[in-house]
Amino acid sequence: MNVKWGKEKYDKIQCNTDESPLQFKAMLFSLSGVHPSRQKVLFKGSTIKDDDWGTIKLTDNANLMLMGTADELPAAPIAKAVFVEDMSEKELAHALELPSGLNNLGNTCYLNATLQCLRSVPELRDAVKKFRGPPLLGGVLQPDQSITAAVHDLFESMDRSSTSVPPIIMLNVLHMCYPRFAEKSEHGGFQQQDANECWTELVRCLQRKLPAVDSPAANNVASQGAAAPDKGFIDQFFGGELEATMKCMESDDEEPSKSTENFLQLSCFIEKEVKYMQSGLKAGLEGEITKNSPSLDRSARYHKQSRIKRLPAYLIVQMVRFFYKGREAVNAKILKDIKFPVSLDVYDLCTPELQQRLVPARDRFKEEEEKQLERAQQEKGQSGPKAAENAAKATEKPVKTEPYSFPDDVGSNNSGYYELQAILTHKGRSSSSGHYVAWVKTKRPDEWLMFDDENVSAVATEDILKLSGGGDWHCAYVLLYGPRILAVHETPSIETPMSL
């Protein structure tokens, strides 16, 4: 569309007539500053309504006229403005304490919560920030390119803003690339969608476009808008490998077969006997299937056992809470209480070969824990000036952190230890209704942030542990675990009084 507003003219604005006119007016709002409630959009003398297009039939390069006044300029602040450059460290920390939320554009909480969880990964933020490429290639919409470019632009907007950001362009691109997310309810608004499905589609797009770390050739390819190599950033930091062993249960003579499978999520199956996430993960790695047996020349039952062959730095666990009810034609929800840990150890889920590789890093964690315990015991027996002097020495040198990946495998996890970093929760009884919220860990001890669309607030760890389910409160649906970082305290040895 070509839109004329006073002396301004906006050429070639994309308009999807399958969506409500209000969506198009929201885009005009982002360009002109005229709120949709004050907009009057004319086409050949007819006024375009908010809820439907009526008898108006738009064609490519149609000329529209926008009438309305933009928001008034804000009044001068009562208090004198303080610029970031002039703030003290304390003032800066307070001003940047709460990051940007995302406005709900009508049942879009599933998208907002997904984006806030993914944005909690610092390596992913850096990779998206470095991405260069137009949203369209040769004038053609390509989901991988368009979604990645939209995430890049949205993250940049969130970095620059101290208030909530309306993800209008991101939502429009998602609807154009995946029309099922643009389904309308019987009331005419957008229908609620499954957050894990949105998570999966976004990650797949990023998987195909974000180049691998420490790969100049891949960066050059991505900057030209071409497809990234087979193994990119997502495969490095989110992709794991499973070694599956198949044993025929009806023939002892048939040798077990092994195969390798890739995963971007692990599933926690919620069965009657499952009360903890770890047992649900184990249940998902064991199972019985039916397939053709080469030794029996017929279909036979096989026992399939999977073990993790490669651990990614960031492990995503999906709670399989939704199942389809044919009679009601709805994805019903399992509300059962499933406890999840803040600190996760997946050593028992790994292959014996990987377990051996994990031992050195795990031993270093134990050594550091023993040193800290010994130091705490020594400090406990001291008092007076000497204790204060040793406490001051303990804060003189910075803490050194060791790599969490194997030297020959960027983006892997070398210990099997994880810390809960973000949770995507759902409140409601079905995936097509209810409300999604993101909960993200901060760098401060015992502090999390709850991203309820545009509302951002601080919560404690005890509030996070209440998200395990068991009622109509928010239930953990997707959990994002990050690598546990080994911090080595390079402090001087504590001086103890000499015995006489």
Pair 310, 238: CB distance under 8 Å = no
What does DSSP assign to residue 117?
A: H
Pair 411, 126: CB distance under 8 Å = no
Q: Which residue has the tokens 């705490």?
A: 376
Single out the catalytic residue among 15, 35, 303, 435: 435
**SS3 assignment, position 468:** helix
Pair 328, 385: CB distance under 8 Å = no
As given in the structure block, the two tokens for residue 40 are 């009057």
198 carries an active-site annotation: no
Question: Within 10 Å of residue 205's Cβ, how many Cβ atoms?
Answer: 24
CA dist., res. 357 & res. 362, Å (int) = 10
Strands 315-320 and 266-269, how do they pair? Answer: parallel
435 carries an active-site annotation: yes
Pair 357, 412: CB distance under 8 Å = no
Backbone angles phi, psi at 483, to 5 degrees: -70, 140
As given in the structure block, the two tokens for residue 295 are 């030794």
CA dist., res. 155 & res. 129, Å (int) = 8
CA atoms within 13 A on the CB side of 259: 6
Q: Which residues pair with 315 in a beta bridge?
A: 481
Angle, helices 168-177 vs 21-32, to 10°: value is 140
Single out the catalytic residue among 15, 109, 303, 475: 109
| Catalytic positions | 109, 435
